[in-house]
């Protein structure tokens, strides 16, 4: 794509193009759309992004994004506080919530163990998970991690660390999610069935 006549336009396109999945042509279309908006509409857009970055918080319990110290899911008395579903990232929560099949709490690890990427156990929210599971009120831990070697390794590592193993149920999503797929790319029906039909976590199925 040829260079643009305006340096300001070029810089704005570069910023939009830096977003995941956005190419220069799409970025240019977005920028030109913004130029057609009123100053008030553009300010509202930019203010919302600034506020998001400056005011968003991380839930002190599950590490989900939140407007307050405790997210809406953790503070909802209707949720099943006896069950904790362990996920890699916030997008996985959105995918599982979309199924309408899960009504417990979550725990966001913030990634998975991946030596190739320099990510080890200390880089993840594992210790806070262990602290939560130590609470006698927790009855089940569900591993909802991607079906990859890294995901299996992460589940295996946490399983070996979990307290109260003789008192709780430790399960994982049933087979059905394609190997290597992230939860966000699995359709709601398949993901919902895998959750409902979850199976006991077994070391023989993991590294």
Question: Domain of 82?
Answer: 71-205
pLDDT given for residue 207 in this prediction:
47
Tell me the pTM: 0.83
pLDDT per residue as tens digits for the range 22-60: 999 999 999 999 999 999 999 999 999 999 999 999 999
CATH number at residue 190: 3.40.1360.10
Is 47 in the same domain as 104?
Answer: no
Is 159 in the same domain as 111?
Answer: yes
pLDDT per residue as tens digits for the range 152-171: 999 999 999 999 999 999 99
Cβ within 8 Å of residue 112, ≥6 positions away? 88, 119, 124, 145, 146, 148, 150, 151, 153, 154
- Rounded CA gap, 19 and 21, in Å? 6
Is 161 in the same domain as 194?
Answer: yes
């Amino acid at each position: 794509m040829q260079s643009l006549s305006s340096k300001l336009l070029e810089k704005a396109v570069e910023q939009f193009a830096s977003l995941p999945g956005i190419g220069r042509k799409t970025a240019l279309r977005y920028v030109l759309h913004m130029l057609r908006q009123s100053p008030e509409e553009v300010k509202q857009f930019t203010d919302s992004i600034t506020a998001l970055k400056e005011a968003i918080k991380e839930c002190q319990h599950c590490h989900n994004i939140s407007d307050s110290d405790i997210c809406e899911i953790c503070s909802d008395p209707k949720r099943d506080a006896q069950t904790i579903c362990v996920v890699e990232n916030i997008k996985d929560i959105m995918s599982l919530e979309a199924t309408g099949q899960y009504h417990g709490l979550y725990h966001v690890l913030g990634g998975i163990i991946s030596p190739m990427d320099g990510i080890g156990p200390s880089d993840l929210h594992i210790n806070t998970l262990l602290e939560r599971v130590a609470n006698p009120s927790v009855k089940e831990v569900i591993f909802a991690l991607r079906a990859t070697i890294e995901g299996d390794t992460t589940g295996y590592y946490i399983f070996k660390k979990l307290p109260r193993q003789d008192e709780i149920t430790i399960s994982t999503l049933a087979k059905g999610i394609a190997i290597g797929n992230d939860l966000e790319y699995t359709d709601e029906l398949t993901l919902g069935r895998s959750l409902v039909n979850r199976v006991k976590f077994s070391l023989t199925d993991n590294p």
